[in-house]
Structure 1
Amino acid sequence: MKEAADPVARAREICLRQLEARPRSHAELAATLARRGVDPDTAQAVLARLAEVGLVDDRAFATALISSARANRGLGRHGLVHELRRRGVDADVIAAALADQDDLDTHDEEAAARELVRRRMPAMAGLPAQVRTRRLAALLGRRGYPSDLVVRVITEEVVDGSLD
């Protein structure tokens, strides 16, 4: 593809190509433009215009990522916050997007953790309880579940033998 001679058109084209692949945060697009050598003022103008027309919306991006990551990857609240920060979403936007999600209360987070443990237990059937406990605790921790929830779920599901 031939590069546009106009710096604004070039920056816009870079952003649109990025957005065709998947939704991106404002910070991700800004970083891409910086890596591609786009002037910061030009980048800011293009990103402002894309936000104005609704192609770059960190709040919508965060809400969609939360829904997707909860459904597909089983992330807990801490994991979701980490993922959004990693993608450059502002803390205020993260807090607002999390507040929009009705299903992120403690009870539902616990239910999601239990479901994840139950899905993984059959593959660990022949392992000693200590090994299952360690592996499941590590899995839940990596997914961003709080440690008190991890201990409670593991204790009830593995140690107490409800799934043995």
Structure 2
Amino acid sequence: MTSEGESRPAPDWVGDVGLGVQAWVGETPPTPAGPRPADARTAEERTGRKTRKGGRGRARTWEEREAARIAREEAAAAEVEADPESVARKILLDTLTGQARSRQELAGKLAQRGVPDELAAQLLDRFTEVGLIDDAAFARQWVESRHRSRGLAPRALKQELRRKGIDDDDASEALEQLDEADQRVAARALVDKKLRSMRGLDPQVATRRLAGMLARKGYAAGLAFSVVREALADAGEDGDLGDHPDF
């Protein structure tokens, strides 16, 4: 006890968040020690590598990591068995938070957690009815985002949408957002960026590489070659390979 008006000495853990948390939960923080001798380095400091801890100061063995994984899976399975509908709803809401998902993606999440197929279908139908799942809207958003951020053209985007489980009608409608002018602008941006690292390269070699890059992004051969030829001309290079480029 200190007398009134007498300042209380600051605890040893002040300024150390980790020690402060220990004090808050009732653990006794260790007493700060003085400077360590040169040979008192930790294994992490000596090797320069971080170790995963399983307990206090001991790296977990493979058996311990595997046992922990199995325990997590068994706990998750028990939770689903106890109240599958509540768990399934939470999975769907958590997955949809901050990002739209296709119905196929959500079905996969439920299957991974062991939600019964019949219940999963019922919930997916209900989420679709209230507008939380909308494959057509997802497809439009996906096309706009991937075209803007990655410069992908309709052919590549259609393949991605198919992998997401989007049907051909919704995919075609979404891809109608991209006209030829949009594709030319995006293709030219990709070519201009790539050209910066190709200074001094033979123009014909540069043309084939640039056209090949655009082909992998899903651009049609005619548009790709036209954009590449235009970009090289603006850069003062002659990359004309004729009317039939070899991608």
Paired residue for 1:22, among 87, 93, 99? 99
Counterpart position of 2:32: none
Counterpart position of 2:189: 115
Residue-by-residue CA offset, 1:71-123 (whole Å, 9 max, x unaligned): 11111111211111121111111112223x2xx11232122212221222112
Counterpart position of 2:128: 51
Counterpart position of 1:97: 174
* Aligned equivalents of 1:91, 1:34: Cα separation in 2: 24
The one-letter amino acid of 1:54's match is: G
Deviates more, 1:1-10 or 1:43-52: 1-10
* Aligned equivalents of 2:97, 2:172: Cα separation in 1: 27
1:66 matched to 2:140: no
Instruction: Indicate if the aligned counterparts of 1:77 and 1:145 stay in contact, CA closer than 8 A.
Output: yes
* Aligned equivalents of 1:76, 1:139: Cα separation in 2: 12
* Aligned equivalents of 1:107, 1:65: Cα separation in 2: 19
Deviates more, 1:25-34 or 1:105-114: 105-114
- SS of residue in 2 equivalent to 1:69: helix
Identity of aligned residues (%): 45
Paired residue for 1:40, among 117, 126, 132? 117
Q: CA shift at 1:138, angstroms?
A: 2.3
Residue-by-residue CA offset, 1:141-164 (whole Å, 9 max, x unaligned): 121111221122223323xx3223
User: Is there any run of 5+ residues in structure 2 with no aligned partner, and where?
Assistant: 1-74, 237-247
Counterpart position of 1:133: 207
1:163 matched to 2:240: no
The one-letter amino acid of 1:64's match is: Q
Structure 2 length-normalised TM: 0.59
- Structure index of larger Rg: 2
Counterpart position of 2:16: none
User: Is there any run of 5+ residues in structure 1 with no aligned partner, and where?
Assistant: none
Counterpart position of 2:224: 150
The one-letter amino acid of 1:78's match is: R
Structure 1 length-normalised TM: 0.86
1:13 matched to 2:87: no
Q: Which structure carries more helix by proportion?
A: 1
Question: Number of paired residues?
Answer: 159
Instruction: Indicate if the aligned counterparts of 1:121 and 1:163 stay in contact, CA closer than 8 A.
Output: no
